[in-house]
Each structure stands twice: as structure tokens, then as C-alpha cells.
């Protein structure tokens, strides 16, 4: 059985993330390890965190595919030939459990309940219906190395378009793979401990080490690094590097470099920063500062990474002194389009924070949030509470003219361009298929 109704161990319930990026607790059957466990079979934390220069330089770097005009033209042609359903599907980055359409939404979004660990016929059918752009794996989806590799492989093979397959593997307490005893991978300290070293190269080494094992299991994007700047220098939160924006910025950029060298994409989060605020409450957190003040403080940790990161995750945070639309940044056109796109000049993929977050589901109509985010300029919707409802609402918004198909095309082009750039989407193969299709159409017309 893929669905397990046993409750998670009580102490695991306390390990919740401080942001909406709470990407899961382990399956109740998963064996967990923590820093400090006596396990002589593991590489020591110190050696793995601070390898010698020889060890570091011996690792091959992944080759990046160029973003040429020919590639852009081909992608535009591919998008033109996609159905509206295929295009809309690319905008969603969903939990693996959301594809098991027999699950109730409360089960899909409950990380204390066991989840899918292999691809069955129901999931294959869902992939053919929703055409999702990405799937995120939670601890409850992870059993061991062989099953994880098989899961990612079957997901890709049954998808019409190559998918982003992601995870939130931050290190320390927030590493669903490294905290599973069935995996022979290094377990690092929390990022605040890495930040204490005040050496950006250590963040790079962490990123490269994590990236090496992620890519070996078929995971191509890590929802990291966290660029949130803690507000208390004496008590920096576990997932953040520091309480100093410049220090955080250097660590974030370095970790991106490390993940990229291992061939793994990144999603810097949660713009413009949660600080130490939480988003698992009934109210949306708020930052009342003016835009210039935000950019001089927490925003500074993000700006340098915008040229490097593959995705930028926008947080569910109210900015009343910046935007008067009454919406969190993740759904605000004034933030996403005016500030991020136009003022900061970011041209990469913008993804929302998890739309299943309590601060969103308690305050907004679930079927409207995906539409709002896309209108605002977001390219991808992360973890909608109800995939079917969110998919249908966006599809209907396009059909009714609330969202133009040109707007959808812009996001799909960014998504496929990133997939091509990172070697997921084969542009040459796409060109061949388009040429063959055109030839077949010409033969049909002549007949």
C-alpha cells in the first residue's frame, strides 16, 4: 500500500520549518538520523564540510547548454504547437502525492501521513492529464536509494515534457535524504552553523556535496538556498546563514555555485525575506518598511543571486508600504512585475512559495490564488492545495479572457528555456519532431 495512515512519531511533529517552504516530514516508517549520532560508516561532518582543495578541484563541472537565438526560436515554436492544457500544466510544481488522484487533499498536504513511493497507473494517468512542469518530493516519498531513483526515473519517463524534480534539501534538520539512514550521504549542520564559519566557500562545498547526491538520484532542483536574513544575531534561525545581509548574500551565491557545479538547479527563497517570521499561522506575515529600506536590508541578500539562480521563490509576505493591492508578494503584480521584473531586471523563472501554506488557505479562496499569482507575473505555482481545482481555474481564466494566452506563453517559454539550458529539454530533438510534423502535415494537405 502506498498510503499509510499511521501517525508520525510525536517528536517529529516539532520539526516544522519557519517558512511556507515546509516540504515535509518523514514517513512514519523512515529511519531518521540526526547530527551527533554515532555512525562510523558515515564520512565525518568536518571532513565533508571542509574537504581539501585537491578533493574539491577533482570534481568535474557540469556543462551548460547555451541559450542561443536558435534555441529561443525553437522553444517559441514548441510552445506555439502545445495545447492550452499542456501549457497550463507546465505552470504547476506539485507534490508527488497530488498525482495520486485517489488521495483526498488533506492526505496529499499532510506530511505526517505516508505518501507515494512508486509510480502507479493512476499517477501515469494524472501526468497525462495535468502535464505538470515539476514534482517536489517530501520525506514521506523517500524510502531508500533504489526506490527513490526508480521513482524519479518513472516520473520522467511518463511525462510528456521533461520535468523539474525537486526537493528541499537544506542540510541539518532540513534534509529529507541525508536524515534517512537508508542513504549513504553526508549530513551537514544547519545553515546557521555554516554561517558561523564566515567563509562563503564552505557554503559552496555544502551545495556541491548535496548537489552531487541529489543529481545521482534523478533530482535536478533543490529549493535552496534560503536568503532570509535573521533578525536576531544571537539566535539565527536554523535555515538561515546569518543576521547580516552581506554575509547571507555571499553564502547564498556560493551555495548556488556549488549546486550548479554538481548539475543541480536552485530556487533562492523567500523574496524579499521572511526574517524570523513564520507563515504557518492564520495570518500572513508583514513587513511594513518602504521598498528602499527593504532592499537595503533583507533584499540585499537576494540581489546578487538574481544573476545566478535558476528560480526565484517569492514569499507570502505583505508589503503594505510598497503595494496597495492587499495581496502578499506572491500574488502581487506590483511586487512581481513592477519590482522584480522591471526594477530589479530579473528574467528567470519566478515561482511562488507553497500555495498550500496555512497563511494562504486560511485567508484566500483556494481556486483563485493560482490565477492571482499568474496575473501578477509568477511563472510557476508551487504545491497548490488542490491540483485539479487550481488547474481548472487557470484554464478557465484563459478561456474566459481573464488571463491572455500570450501571458501563459511567456511563462512556458521561460520554463522550457530553463529546462533546455540545464539539459532537461532536448532542443535538437524538438526541432526534428517539429520538422517531421510539418512534413506530415504537408503530405496530408497535398493528398
Q: Which pLDDT score is estimated for 442?
A: 61
Q: Which pLDDT score is estimated for 224?
A: 98
In this predicted model, what pLDDT tens digit does every residue of 148-185 receive, in sequence order? 999 999 999 999 999 999 999 999 999 999 999 999 99
pLDDT band at 304 (very low <50, low <70, confident <90, very high): very high
Edge-to-edge strands, sheet with 92-95:
349-352, 311-314, 265-271, 221-222, 164-167, 134-136, 92-95, 381-382
Q: What are the structural domain ranges in the chain?
A: 18-34+62-446
401 φ/ψ sector (left φ>0, alpha ψ -120 to 50, else beta): left
293 φ/ψ sector (left φ>0, alpha ψ -120 to 50, else beta): alpha
Q: Which pLDDT score is estimated for 50?
A: 52
32 pLDDT higher than 70: no
Question: What CA–CA distances, in Å, run from 347 to 144, 152, 217, 308, 417?
Answer: 37, 28, 29, 11, 11
Stretch 26-33: mean pLDDT: 48
> Which of 30-34, 370-374, 443-447 is least confident?
30-34
In this predicted model, what pLDDT tens digit does every residue of 65-93 receive, in sequence order? 555 788 899 999 999 999 999 999 999 99
CB atoms under 10 Å from CB of 58, counted, come to 9
Q: Which pLDDT score is estimated for 46?
A: 41
In this predicted model, what pLDDT tens digit does every residue of 259-270 receive, in sequence order? 999 999 999 999
Stretch 46-61: mean pLDDT: 46
296 pLDDT higher than 80: yes
Q: Which pLDDT score is estimated for 71?
A: 87
Distance CA 79, CA 419 (A): 13
The DSSP secondary-structure symbol of 314 reads E
Alpha helices, DSSP H, located in 271-350: 291-296, 300-303, 333
> Which of 5-19, 21-35, 124-138 is least confident?
5-19
CATH superfamily to which 18-34+62-446 belongs: Glycoside hydrolase, family 3, N-terminal domain (3.20.20.300)
| CB distance 349 to 312 below 8 Å | yes
Name the average pLDDT for the chain: 87
Q: Which pLDDT score is estimated for 33?
A: 56
pLDDT band at 433 (very low <50, low <70, confident <90, very high): confident
Q: Which pLDDT score is estimated for 282?
A: 86
CA 235 to mean position of chain CA atoms: 27
Q: Which pLDDT score is estimated for 49?
A: 53
41 pLDDT higher than 80: no
| CB distance 89 to 71 below 8 Å | no
| CB distance 305 to 257 below 8 Å | no
- Of residues 251, 352, 354, the one with CA closest to residue 308: 251
Give the pTM. 0.87
In the chain, % of residues over pLDDT 90: 77
Residue 204, judged by CB atoms within 10 A of its CB (0-12, 13-18, 19+), counts as buried
Amino acid at each position: 500500500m502506498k498510503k499509510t495512515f499511521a501517525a508520525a512519531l510525536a517528536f517529529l511533529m516539532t520539526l516544522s520549518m519557519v517558512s511556507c517552504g515546509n516540504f515535509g516530514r518523514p514517513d512514519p516508517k523512515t529511519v531518521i538520523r540526526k547530527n551527533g549520532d554515532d555512525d562510523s560508516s558515515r564520512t565525518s561532518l568536518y571532513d565533508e564540510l571542509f574537504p581539501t582543495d585537491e578533493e574539491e578541484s577533482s570534481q568535474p563541472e557540469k556543462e551548460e547548454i547555451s541559450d542561443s537565438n536558435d534555441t529561443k526560436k525553437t522553444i517559441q515554436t514548441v510552445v506555439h504547437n502545445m495545447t492550452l492544457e499542456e501549457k497550463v500544466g507546465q505552470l504547476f510544481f506539485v507534490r508527488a502525492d497530488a498525482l495520486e488522484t485517489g488521495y483526498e487533499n488533506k492526505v496529499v498536504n499532510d506530511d505526517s501521513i505516508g505518501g507515494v513511493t512508486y509510480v502507479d497507473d493512476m499517477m501515469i494517468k494524472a501526468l497525462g492529464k495535468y502535464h505538470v512542469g515539476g514534482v517536489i518530493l517530501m520525506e514521506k516519498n523517500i524510502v531508500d536509494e533504489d526506490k527513490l531513483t526508480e521513482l524519479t526515473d518513472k516520473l520522467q519517463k511518463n511525462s510528456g515534457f521533461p520535468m523539474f524534480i525537486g526537493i528541499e534539501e537544506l542540510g541539518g534538520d532540513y534534509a529529507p535524504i541525508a536524515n534517512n539512514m537508508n542513504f549513504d550521504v553526508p549530513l551537514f549542520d544547519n545553515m546557521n552553523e555554516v554561517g558561523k564559519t564566515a567563509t562563503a566557500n564552505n557554503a559552496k562545498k555544502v551545495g556541491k556535496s548535496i548537489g552531487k547526491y541529489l543529481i545521482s538520484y534523478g533530482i535536478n532542483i533543490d529549493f535552496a538556498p534560503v536568503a532570509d536574513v535573521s533578525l536576531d544575531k544571537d539566535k539565527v534561525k536554523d535555515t538561515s546563514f546569518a543576521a547580516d545581509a552581506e554575509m547571507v548574500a555571499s553564502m547564498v551565491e556560493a551555495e548556488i555555485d556549488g549546486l550548479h557545479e554538481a548539475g543541480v538547479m536552485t530556487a533562492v527563497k523567500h523574496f524579499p525575506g521572511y526574517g524570523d517570521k513564520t507563515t504557518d499561522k492564520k495570518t500572513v506575515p508583514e513587513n511594513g518598511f518602504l521598498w528602499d529600506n527593504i532592499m537595503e536590508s533583507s533584499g540585499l541578500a537576494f540581489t546578487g543571486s538574481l544573476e545566478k539562480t535558476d528560480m526565484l521563490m517569492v514569499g507570502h509576505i505583505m508589503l503594505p508600504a510598497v503595494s496597495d493591492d492587499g495581496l502578499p508578494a506572491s500574488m502581487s503584480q506590483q511586487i512581481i512585475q513592477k519590482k522584480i521584473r522591471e526594477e530589479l531586471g530579473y528574467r528567470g523563472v519566478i515561482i511562488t512559495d507553497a500555495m498550500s501554506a496555512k497563511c494562504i488557505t486560511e485567508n484566500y479562496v483556494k481556486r483563485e490564488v493560482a490565477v492571482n499569482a499568474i496575473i501578477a507575473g509568477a511563472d510557476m505555482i508551487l504545491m497548490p492545495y488542490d491540483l485539479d481545482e487550481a488547474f481548472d481555474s487557470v484554464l478557465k481564466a484563459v478561456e474566459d479572457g481573464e488571463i491572455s494566452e500570450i501571458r501563459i506563453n511567456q511563462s512556458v517559454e521561460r520554463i522550457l528555456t530553463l529546462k533546455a539550458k540545464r539539459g532537461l529539454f532536448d532542443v535538437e530533438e524538438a526541432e526534428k519532431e517539429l520538422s517531421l510534423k510539418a512534413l506530415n502535415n504537408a503530405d496530408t494537405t497535398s493528398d
